[in-house]
Amino acid sequence: MLIVNKLNVSYGDAKALVDVTILVRSGEIVSLVGSNGAGKSTLLKAISRLLNTISGSIEFFSEKIGELEPHQVVERGLVQIPEGRKIFPNMKVVENLEVCAVFKNAKMRRKEKLKSVFELFPILEERSNQFAGSLSGGEQQMLAIGQGLMSCPKLLMIDEPSLGLAPMVVDHMFETIKNINKQDVAILLVEQNIEASLEISSRGYVLETGKIVLEGENLINNPFVREAYLGL
Whole-model pTM: value is: 0.92
**DSSP string covering 154-197, please?**
SEEEEE-TTTT--HHHHHHHHHHHHHHHHTT-EEEEE-S-HHHH
Query: Partners of 186 in the beta sheet?
Result: 155
pLDDT band at 232 (very low <50, low <70, confident <90, very high): low
- 201-220 residue pLDDT tens: 999 999 999 999 999 998 99
Longest dimension (CA), the chain: 49
- 8-55 residue pLDDT tens: 999 888 899 999 999 999 999 999 999 888 899 999 999 999 999 999
- Could you please state the CATH topology (level 3) that the domain comprising 1-77+188-232 is classified under: Rossmann fold (3.40.50)
The phi, psi pair for 49, rounded to 5°, reads 75, 25
Q: What is the mean pLDDT of residues 174-193?
A: 93
| pLDDT averaged over every residue in the chain | 92
